[in-house]
Structure 1
Amino acid sequence: MISVEQHLDRILGTVKVIRPFEQGVLDAQGCILAEDVRARGSLPGFTNSAMDGYAVHARDVSSATPESPVVLPVVNDIAAGNTSALSLAQGQTMRIMTGAPMPHGADAVVPVEATDGGVVRVQIRERSVVGQHVRELGEDVEAGSVVLKRGTLVGPGQIALLAAAGVPRLRVVPRPRVVVISTGDELVDVGTTPAFGQIVDSNSLMLTAAVTAVGATPFRVGGIPDDARVLMQTLEGQLVRADAIITTGGVSMGAFDTVKEVLSRVGTMQFDKVAMRPGMPQGFGLLGEEQVPVFTLPGNPVSALVSFHVFVAPALRAMAGRPEPAYPPGYVPAVAAEPFTSVPGKMEFVRVVLEDDRARLAGGQGSHMLGALAAADALAVIPESVSAVQAGDPLECLPLLGREGQ
């Protein structure tokens, strides 16, 4: 039997960052930049108004007050999108809209709220200073400067910056494409009424959702029968579109554990008992010419999802260029709200509900209990050396993907 850390170290020491390629800026959402990105233009691209108001020479209105307004003639209107080069003489003003280019000579904008809103002549009731409500050329980003560094996660804000800076395409580490395969003669698809001895294939749906939640792209392959030939054909057929493959079921010690039977003979697959509960039977290795990582997870749904959080999610993040520290990644501190026991010699992952900084049991802890799994916010990680947790004891909790705050 090996430890959780040993199994995770083997996985993270094996998987590789996916080869970067060029993507359109919108398609790059959720990806990691593979190189620094430089702006093709300045932001703003021209000096413009930050307010609806009046473009002025600041010294013309330096004495303006509500009691003694300065009156100026309005000689033009400048709308956002104006492409004419305009000049403002001293002693005059132009009405200007937010985002419109400043006329040559003007060095401040008086907000419309500080005037009487005149269209021929305007009373300005507030003094201005040079630069007031003016966005200068390149004050945000200078052309040619690095706007985003290699390793940056591309989200909506980054996409806005890239688009504004004139960057239509960029090199990124793509989101891993992950094939999810569930196995077992007993499985039927969701929406089908199970006959006696059959169960709905919830695992492949659950793991597909988990793949999406971790930022990868899933491809679900529904229940594959416990047939070695069919399973091998399925695996070989999926390698062409897979950066990783996840299987669930068929990895324990049973007579019909087909996944273990088939994969033990190919690639670099290794099957181990991991000192953890739930999720003891685990397998991992590389398959095919492209050396595609394959994660074989237990068939019990809680065991499968715990295994995904502990082993698969860190690996997929690493493949996407988002490496994490060694276990436990992303844990949050809490204290036990109630006492409970744990199995000595195994790292235990207890489903808990987090209320502020207190963790209470989510319900029954059996590896088949989906009600408690759905109610849980996190997994409380109990070390191998601990056999009993008392109320008030400090805990490290791994938040579940897709729950609030994730």
Structure 2
Amino acid sequence: MISYAEAMAEVLQHTGRLSVESIPLEVAQGRTLAEAVVSRCPIPPVDQAAVDGYALHCGSKSLPAGSELPLVSIRRLSRGHDPAQLGWARRIHTNAPMSDGMDAVLPLEQGQRLPPDADGNLRLRLKAPLHRGDHVHRQGAEADTGTEILPAGEVLDGPRILLAGTVGAERLRVVSRPQVAIFSTGHDRHGGLEGYCPGNSGRDVNGSYLEMMARTVGAEVRMNQPLGQCGDYFQAMLQQVRDLSLDVIICTRGEAAPRDEQMMSSLRALDARILFSKVAVTPGSSLICAQFPGGSLFFGISAEPAAMAAACRFFLMPTLARMQGRAAERPVLARLAPPLWPAGSRLPGFRRARLYQHADGTLWVQIPRSDDPLALQGVRRTNAWAVVPPHAPTWRGETRLEVYGTLPDMLDIPLERHRSETG
């Protein structure tokens, strides 16, 4: 039996980087950048107004509050007048290019429009002093040409795709989606309940859960079907999916699946190399990982829901993420709130937990008191996963646990103002 860290190191050592493809921006949601996005031009490309207001020329002198100057009209501009040389101001909107010679913007609320003078010219009075460069976004202030805007390994969402388009990208080089097959059974959870729960016909929910979670980390699920037989059928199924050149094959082991020794025998018969079969974690210590000669990784995990969910979150999802070049996930540390469950476990455990922030800013994590980490009430009240160390102590205020989101790099931390942490 090996530790979780040793098991993941073994998996990642045998995880190859996927191929790269070029895609248009409109289909890039959720994909992983294979190459950095760099700016093709300065950002902003020219001097721009930072606010709605009045553009004018200060030069080397500041304009004090109370200064008055003509407010140029579109008609005067059309005659070829240069408002900067004439000391005029003109109306300008946010992000509009600055005219030649204009070097400052007076915010709209800091200017007072005065009645026309004897010649019919409008005038502007400054309510506040103005200096050269005030309220102007200078050319290249955010990025020069060639500046890295998004690094390789970044997961693309709406704001990042918009940013890539802003700096001139029309297509993006992304990592191909991992190709996944799922064979599952959920009978360990619901077997024998058909006569007691109307509508429960032994429906496999594990496959649906695994497919949903695989898709959240960018995988494409090519096949998802229940494992209804064992023995020779299992080996034939393995040979079929092995020949599809998939990246990851997932099989949950329940009543309908072959036992560990049978599963490993079938894998060896197809020249797969067993990387490990026992991991020092709970739930789900019986976890088989193997690799076929073509590079496909195989995971055989328990069909029991708590073990299946933990294996998915801490083995399958990190593997799929790293295949795409995504950065390793980092947990947060949170103080352990009472009560701790289970007390005195010999193996480190992955437990559903409730993470929240106290009014003083400290993070707390609470593990539901239950014999089933995925009991209905526990699932409804939890928003994270906690890593419980071996021989976990009873609750002490200084105890801190590593906490991960239900999805990679996604933590929803509610603020609770009126909660006692003393028991």
Q: TM-score range by the shorter chain?
A: 0.7 to 0.9
Q: Residues of 2 paired with 1:219 and 1:36: CA distance?
A: 29
C-alpha change, 1:368 and 1:34, in structure 2 (3 Å) is: closer
C-alpha change, 1:108 and 1:245, in structure 2 (3 Å) is: same
**Aligned match of 1:365 in 361, 368, 371?**
371
SS of 1:312's equivalent?
A: helix
Aligned-residue offset at 1:375 = 3.3
Are 2:49 and 1:42 aligned? no
C-alpha change, 1:220 and 1:302, in structure 2 (3 Å) is: farther
**Aligned match of 2:399 in 386, 389, 394?**
394
Residues 11-41 of structure 1 deviation map (CA, whole Å, 9 limit, x = unaligned): 1221122222223234344444333333222
C-alpha change, 1:108 and 1:208, in structure 2 (3 Å) is: same
CA contact under 8 A between 1:62 and 1:128: conserved in structure 2?
yes
Aligned partner of 1:338 in structure 2 is: 339
1:334 alignment partner AA = R
Aligned partner of 1:81 in structure 2 is: none
**Aligned match of 2:72 in 54, 74, 78?**
74
Aligned-residue offset at 1:296 = 1.4
Q: Residues of 1 paired with 2:147 and 2:345: CA distance?
A: 56
Are 2:101 and 1:100 aligned? no
Aligned-residue offset at 1:165 = 1.2
Q: Residues of 2 paired with 1:59 and 1:371: CA distance?
A: 68
Q: Residues of 1 paired with 2:182 and 2:256: CA distance?
A: 18
C-alpha change, 1:186 and 1:348, in structure 2 (3 Å) is: closer
CA contact under 8 A between 1:61 and 1:128: conserved in structure 2?
no
Residues 102-156 of structure 1 deviation map (CA, whole Å, 9 limit, x = unaligned): 2222222222222234695122224422222222222222223333343444344
CA contact under 8 A between 1:287 and 1:293: conserved in structure 2?
yes
Are 2:63 and 1:52 aligned? no
C-alpha change, 1:64 and 1:209, in structure 2 (3 Å) is: same
Aligned partner of 1:122 in structure 2 is: 123
Residues 65-89 of structure 1 deviation map (CA, whole Å, 9 limit, x = unaligned): 34xx4130413289xxxxxx99433
Residues 162-205 of structure 1 deviation map (CA, whole Å, 9 limit, x = unaligned): 211111123232443433321378999xxx99789942212112
Q: Residues of 2 paired with 1:371 and 1:77: CA distance?
A: 71
CA contact under 8 A between 1:186 and 1:197: conserved in structure 2?
no
**Aligned match of 2:86 in 87, 90, 110?**
90
Aligned partner of 1:6 in structure 2 is: 6
SS of 1:205's equivalent?
A: helix
98-107 or 117-126, larger mean C-alpha shift: 117-126
C-alpha change, 1:251 and 1:166, in structure 2 (3 Å) is: farther
CA contact under 8 A between 1:31 and 1:154: conserved in structure 2?
yes
CA contact under 8 A between 1:336 and 1:395: conserved in structure 2?
no
CA contact under 8 A between 1:29 and 1:155: conserved in structure 2?
yes
1:99 alignment partner AA = N
Are 2:209 and 1:206 aligned? yes
2:72 alignment partner AA = V
1:281 alignment partner AA = S
Q: Residues of 1 paired with 2:45 and 2:396: CA distance?
A: 60
Are 2:401 and 1:405 aligned? no
Aligned partner of 2:269 in structure 1 is: 265
2:300 alignment partner AA = T
Q: Residues of 2 paired with 1:359 and 1:183: CA distance?
A: 32
Q: Residues of 2 paired with 1:55 and 1:318: CA distance?
A: 50
CA contact under 8 A between 1:378 and 1:397: conserved in structure 2?
no
2:23 alignment partner AA = Q
Equivalent residues in 2 for 1:199-348 (5 A)? 199-218=202-221, 221-228=224-231, 231=234, 234-235=237-238, 236-237=240-241, 240=244, 242-250=246-254, 262-270=266-274, 272-287=277-292, 289=294, 291-324=295-328, 330=331, 332-342=333-343, 345-348=346-349
351-360 or 92-101, larger mean C-alpha shift: 351-360
Q: Residues of 2 paired with 1:151 and 1:177: CA distance?
A: 18
C-alpha change, 1:239 and 1:136, in structure 2 (3 Å) is: farther
- Equivalenced residue count is 391
C-alpha change, 1:202 and 1:173, in structure 2 (3 Å) is: same
Q: Cα RMSD over matched residues?
A: 3.9
1:136 alignment partner AA = R
SS of 2:339's equivalent?
A: coil
TM (norm. structure 2) is 0.77
Aligned partner of 2:185 in structure 1 is: 183
Q: Taking every aligned residue pair, what percent have the same amino acid on both sides?
A: 24
Q: Residues of 1 paired with 2:98 and 2:332: CA distance?
A: 51
C-alpha change, 1:241 and 1:124, in structure 2 (3 Å) is: farther
Unaligned runs of 5+ in 1: 79-84
Q: Residues of 1 paired with 2:125 and 2:61: CA distance?
A: 7
Aligned-residue offset at 1:284 = 1.1
Aligned-residue offset at 1:341 = 4.5
CA contact under 8 A between 2:286 and 2:302: conserved in structure 1?
yes
